Amino acid sequence: MKRSEINDILLSADDMIRRHGFALPPFAYWTPEEFRAKADTARHLIDTRCGWDITDYGAGDFQGMGLFLFTLRNGLLSDLQKGGGMCYAEKLLISRRDQISPMHTHALKAEDIINRGSATLVVELFGSDDNGAFAEDRGGTVWCDGIRRDFAPGEKLRLAPGESVTLRPGDWHAFWGEGGDVLIGEVSTVNDDETDNIFRDPIGRFATIDEDTTPAHLLVSDYASWLG
What ranges do the domains of the chain cover?
3-227
pLDDT of residue 206: 86
Residues 39-77 pLDDT 10s: 999 999 999 999 999 999 989 999 999 999 999 999 999
pLDDT of residue 26: 97
For the chain, the average pLDDT equals 96
- pLDDT at residue 228 greater than cutoff 90: no
If you average pLDDT over residues 217-227, what whole number do you get? Answer: 96
CB 206 within 8 A of CB 136: no
pLDDT of residue 50: 98
Neighbours of 208 (CB within 10 A): 10
CB 54 within 8 A of CB 69: yes
If you average pLDDT over residues 95-122, what whole number do you get? Answer: 97
pLDDT of residue 194: 87
Fold of 3-227: Jelly Rolls (2.60.120)
pLDDT of residue 126: 98
pTM beyond 0.85: the answer is: yes
* Of 68, 75, 73, 42, nearest in space to 53 by CA: 68
Which of helix, strand or coil describes residue 26? helix
pLDDT of residue 156: 98
Residues 134-185 pLDDT 10s: 999 999 999 999 999 999 999 999 999 999 999 999 999 999 999 999 999 9
* CB-based contacts of 201, cutoff 8 Å, min separation 6: 102, 103
If you average pLDDT over residues 80-92, what whole number do you get? Answer: 94
- Cα separations in angstroms, 2 against 32, 55, 61, 62: 17, 11, 11, 11
